[in-house]
Amino acid sequence: MKKLNVLISGASVAGPVLAYWLHRHGFNPTIVERAPARRDGGYAVDFRGEAHLTVLRRMGILADLERARTGMSHMSYVNAKGRPVAKMPADLFAGDLEILRGDLTRILYAATKDRAEYVFGDSITSLTEDADGVTVTFERGAPRRFDLVIGADGLHSNTRRLAFGPEERFVKHLGVYCAIFTTENHLGLDHTGHAYRTANRLAALYSARNNTEAKAVFYFGSPDLDLDRRDVARQQAVLAETFTGNGWESDRLLREMRYAPDFYFDSVGQVRMDGWTRGRVALVGDAAYCPSSLSGMGSGLALVGAYVLAGELAAAHGDHRVAFARYEEEMRDYAAGCQKLGDGVAKLMVPGSRALAAFLNRYYKVMPYLPGASMASKMARKAAEGIALRDYAVRS
């Protein structure tokens, strides 16, 4: 088997998982990441179902994730005075294992830093493919040659833009924006969270890291905004304009936002593509089939996709043409099933009218007592388990 040199763009979830399995299968992975160091912060992500847990177990990191899990119990919807009016079960939000994204990336980096070359603070600027490989140029580093290039660089994938075309061809905006940052747990939340929903807006706060801090989350409905993704000042101004005077804890959280070390702001979208591979370039995770952050399936889907892509390269003895075709065949239905969970969630998360917001608050109050109360959780679990994982042979 040819020992391929593989460049991976992106060091969040899919990239390190792919690097781990490529190394296990005897390949040489290199990860390039635009950020100057591993990114911390971010929201809580969850894994559910045997497919997700099997990959984590086979990587030998399940116990580490278990130790760092959030331990969240439930999420309460509250009124303007902070009084709970409805409660959502933990299984719907946290799955079988919930962990802060920053803790997940820390564990993945520890598991791969000696198995892959990491290049932080750089980004791909061009890809030139020929019969023998790909010449890659970078913003800062010297050009290099690789056998394959894999884009694991998220919703706004630079690799996808370079190899497949402009973002607007593939990213579907769901009419919602999201912001999240770390702040003080001033409500004294104990492994739980509070959410306050009004017309077209939702503000929430949930405890993190054994209640020593909290994550503030804002969702609001909006058409696609012409915002620079790196202009934090403008993003914070938009959030303040939208939520000032919204009620509950909104104004206090907006004040604390200015001091947050990890402010994150982005549109909520899905990636829809007819194919995830082109020549010697492939996409994995959110870059290929982002189901949206509202689906709760993004990290699990990235985890499984990276496992399958590396496994198919090994099974094909390094023949990327065979491996890429098998990867698309194995993942197509699974990705589609996960993406269905994101369809329609946006309108329920941030209803467009005050009347609909009030109706949903009342509905959630009685939902636990209605027939089919666990339907949403069952649908999420069915989607998460909608693939039969192959046990790809690895090097001893």
Cα-Cα-Cα-Cα dihedral sign, residues 73, 79, 81, 84: negative
Sequence letter at residue 150: I
**pLDDT for res 370:** 47
d(CA 85, CA 199): 17
Residue with the two structure tokens 């209803």: 351
CA triplet 98, 49, 282: central angle to 5 degrees? 90
Strand, coil or helix: 35: coil
Predicted TM-score of the model (pTM): 0.91
Tokens representing 153 are 């660089």
pLDDT recorded at residue 120: 97
Per-residue pLDDT of the chain (396 residues; tens, 9 = 90+): 668 999 999 999 999 999 999 999 999 999 999 999 988 877 788 898 889 999 999 999 999 999 998 888 778 889 999 998 877 766 666 678 889 899 999 999 999 999 999 999 999 999 999 999 999 999 999 999 999 999 999 999 999 999 999 999 999 998 899 999 999 999 999 999 999 988 889 999 999 999 999 999 999 999 999 888 889 999 999 999 999 999 999 999 999 999 998 999 999 999 999 999 999 999 999 999 999 888 778 899 999 999 999 999 999 999 999 999 999 999 999 999 888 877 666 666 676 666 666 666 665 655 554 444 455 667 777 878 889 999 997 764
Residues 190-204 pLDDT 10s? 999 999 988 889 999
Q: What is the identity of the amino acid at 264?
A: Y
Burial of 228 (0-12, 13-18, 19+ CB in 10 A): exposed
Name beta bridge partners: 219: 178, 202
CB 151 within 8 A of CB 284: yes
Q: What pLDDT, on a 0 to 100 scale, did the predictor assign at position 341? A: 76
Amino acid at 119: V
Query: What does the chain come to in residues?
Result: 396
Radius of gyration for the alpha carbons in the chain, expressed in angstroms and rounded: 21
The type of residue at 390 is R
DSSP-assigned beta bridge partners for residue 6? 29, 148
Dihedral of the CA atoms 267, 97, 41, 56 (nearest 10)?
Answer: -100
Domains of the chain, CATH where assigned:
5-348+377-384 (3.50.50.60)
Determine the Cα–Cα distance for residues 32 and 344; give it in Å rounded to an integer: 35
